[in-house]
Amino acid sequence: MKLDLSRRTTVHLCVDMQRMFSEDTDWRTPWMDRVTPVVAEIARRHCEETIFTRFIPPARAEEAEGGWRAYFERWPQFTGDEIDPVLLELIEPLRALTPPAEVLDKPCFSPFWRTDLDRRLRARGADVLVVTGAETDVCVLAAVLAAVDHGYFVILPKDALCSSADETHDALMELYAGRFGQQIFLTDAETLLGAWPGR
């Protein structure tokens, strides 16, 4: 299928490109440095069509619901009371693009859960989401499946996604291509930007 976005309203959703995942922490995603220039180029050309998400943990583990409490009991150093707040910020050069790019804070993996993301997208008339960011097999996965459930066509530039686990990253690329061909389109940033010209 040839990618043609000339008659579509497209938004770039960049997932969790934050300092706590790029710096020397227990949640570091080693590939992030490699994909950052690609993500930044997409965001730079489409600042006004970009929404950056940030994963914001609860202040304390006991404030989390259900399985999230055990999760943050395992990772107390990332709760709001213990983490250095600068680690929650977007990495550079992405932070410099806000505004006009928007920022959306979320309390869990999916950016659609308990946020106004769908309302923001509907207000723009969006029907296509370009999803980039981290990690392919965690928060990006949650974003992609939720976007499909909400009826958006999802484009994944493979060179703008990163994970800390090669095996599950590769498995998801195969899953998307093999099982979601009508709803998800895998490509690369060069092809995407050729079909979606910006500044």
Q: Please, is 81 exposed, middle or buried when counting C-beta atoms within 10 Å of its C-beta (0-12, 13-18, 19+)?
A: exposed
Which of 169, 68, 152, 163 lies closest to 114, judged by CA?
A: 68
pLDDT digits (tens, 9 = 90+) for 15-65: 999 999 999 999 999 999 999 999 999 999 999 999 999 999 999 999 999
CATH of the domain spanning 10-60+87-195, picked from 3.40.50.1980, 3.40.50.1110, 3.40.50.850, 2.60.120.680: 3.40.50.850
List Cα–Cα distances, 199 to 17, 118, 192, in angstroms. Answer: 22, 26, 14
pLDDT value, residue 199: 65
- Per domain, the residue ranges of the chain are 10-60+87-195
The continuous run of DSSP H or E covering 142 comes out as helix 139-149
pTM value is 0.96
pLDDT confidence bin for 4, thresholds 50/70/90: confident
Which of 130, 163, 125 lies closest to 144, judged by CA?
A: 130
Contacts of 170 (CB under 8 A, 6+ apart): none
Cis peptide before 100 (omega within 30 of 0): yes
**Alpha-helix residue ranges (DSSP H) falling in 26-98:** 32-45, 67-74
Q: Please, is 121 exposed, middle or buried when counting C-beta atoms within 10 Å of its C-beta (0-12, 13-18, 19+)?
A: buried
Identify whether the C-beta of residue 192 lies closer than 8 Å to the C-beta of residue 42. Answer: yes
pLDDT digits (tens, 9 = 90+) for 84-135: 999 999 999 999 999 999 999 999 999 999 999 999 999 999 999 999 999 9
Give the Cα separation of 137 and 165 in Å (integer).
8
